[in-house]
Amino acid sequence: MKKTILYLTVATGFLFACSKNSKNDAPGPDPAPKTVNVKDPKALTAAVKVYHGSLVNGAFPDASGAGAPVLSTTNYKDVIPAISGRYAVLPLILNVPDGQNPTAPKGAYVKIVGADSYFDIDFSKPLNGRQAPTKHNGIARDAYADSVVVIKLPEDITKDTFKVELAIYNAQKQVSNKVTIAIATIAAGGGSANTAFQATWIPSRYKDDSTNLEWKPAMVDRVDSGYLVCVNNQLNFSETNIPGAKKYYLGEYHDVKNETTFGAGGQGSSEYLVKRKNLDYNKSTCDNLVYVENNDGSKEVFGWSYNTSTQLMTLVYDGNGINGEFDFEVIRMRIENNKLYMNERLKGIREYVKK
């Protein structure tokens, strides 16, 4: 019996070795992921990830009425852009009576319109950050709860618009009114034709009017001075022709860093840092000038999508889905002679060069 078992083992090993060496049996490439159609609510519900959300089968919960929180019905009219493979961030905009502070909700319900299930989101779990103030041309807001809804989109998704229903509830499980939000999915990056954007860019010069041929340096160190007059041993601003007025050094401003990076896969970041030195009027006297030094800066992450035909760049500031930030802006951009030109205002233009 032992010999038979040994023989079968050796034979099986031989057949396995032959199978591994056969070209016909070599494993093929992994199948391509199936594109998710945003017009298919059931497939889209299965494909998205809602942070701290559990899927519940059944009808969307009804509003509780009196005593429940109230979501604004006027500030969800803008279409929220979301880049494929990144995040749709839904701020909570509450109607709060004057003189009252908004109460943080216990959770939220989110449903893709047309689906037969919805997500129950638990706000007691940390999102690794708090709601940030508006920094760009984003959505108008009334009052904020200390929570947001973050939806992670699949990378392979059709570029179209879908809608979600949103309601929040308090600690007593009282459900707010329901609002409907439109989300437009756009492609990450700009395809192989826009690899020229993929670099770190720093501003080189600008002009306030695109019809004006005079360019000005973008980053300039500035030293400020002004006329002050001493009154009761305190310094006060003054006109030059007032008796006793003297010219004083008031401070200086230095640009240390100002750069924007467009990375592969539609990811990007912007970072700036400035150093300031200012005269502290409260602590200074006529005989003893006190200056205060401080640094000011920030770093933001975004997804980017560029339309070659319109030369419009869409920047979606989603905080990588971890800090609750959301804003977006659309800027006209082009690359010419290996330089990037950005129209940030109606008639203003900035020129950037690669770092």
Type of residue found at 337: N
Which range has the worst mean pLDDT, 103-107, 184-188, 194-198, 301-305? Answer: 103-107
Question: Count of CB atoms within 10 A of residue 111's CB?
Answer: 23
pLDDT given at position 28? 44
Highest mean pLDDT among 69-83, 285-299, 340-354: 285-299
pLDDT given at position 212? 64
pLDDT given at position 293? 93
pLDDT given at position 265? 80
Which tens digit of pLDDT belongs to each residue from 255-277? Answer: 889 999 998 888 899 998 999 99
Which residue would you say has higher pLDDT here, 261 or 328?
A: 261
Per residue in 267-288, is it b (16+ CB within 10 Å) or e — as a string? bbebebeeeebebeeeebeeee
| Residue 190 pLDDT class (50, 70, 90 cuts) | low
Q: Which residues pair with 162 in a beta bridge?
A: 183
**Helix (H, G, I), strand (E, B), or coil: what is residue 137?**
coil
Please compute the mean of the pLDDT values over residues 189-209 and round it to a whole number: 83
Which residue would you say has higher pLDDT here, 124 or 53?
A: 53
Question: Count of CB atoms within 10 A of residue 31's CB?
Answer: 6
Per residue in 165-183, is it b (16+ CB within 10 Å) or e — as a string? bbbbbbeeebbbbbbebeb
Q: What angle do CA 145, 149, 155 make, to 5 degrees?
A: 155
Domain regions of the chain by residue span? 41-186, 192-354
The model's pTM is 0.63
Judge whether residue 132 has pLDDT over 50: no
Which tens digit of pLDDT belongs to each residue from 138-170? Answer: 323 333 334 678 898 998 999 999 999 999 999
How much of the chain, in percent, has pLDDT values that exceed 70?
Answer: 77
Report d(CA 281, CA 186) in Å as an integer. Answer: 51
Which range has the worst mean pLDDT, 111-120, 155-164, 345-354? Answer: 345-354
Comparing CA positions, the residue from 165, 167, 118 lying closest to residue 145 is: 167
Architecture per CATH, domain 41-186, reads as Sandwich (2.60)
Comparing CA positions, the residue from 347, 291, 344, 275 lying closest to residue 315 is: 344
pLDDT given at position 209? 67
pLDDT given at position 346? 54
pLDDT given at position 76? 79
Judge whether residue 33 has pLDDT over 50: yes
pLDDT given at position 138? 30
pLDDT given at position 332? 86
> What is the helix, strand, coil percentage profile of the chain, to 5?
10, 45, 45
pLDDT given at position 143? 34
Please compute the mean of the pLDDT values over residues 8-14 and round it to a whole number: 27
Question: Count of CB atoms within 10 A of residue 311's CB?
Answer: 14
Per residue in 113-134, is it b (16+ CB within 10 Å) or e — as a string? eebebbbbbebeeebeeebbee
Please compute the mean of the pLDDT values over residues 323-337 and round it to a whole number: 78
Type of residue found at 23: K
Judge whether residue 126 has pLDDT over 60: no
Report d(CA 11, CA 171) in Å as an integer. Answer: 67
Report d(CA 197, CA 90) in Å as an integer. Answer: 28
Judge whether residue 1 has pLDDT over 70: no
In residues, how long is the chain?
A: 355
| Residue 101 pLDDT class (50, 70, 90 cuts) | low
- 275: left (phi > 0), else alpha (psi -120 to 50), else beta? beta
pLDDT given at position 174? 94
What are the structure tokens assigned to 228, written together?
């002050």
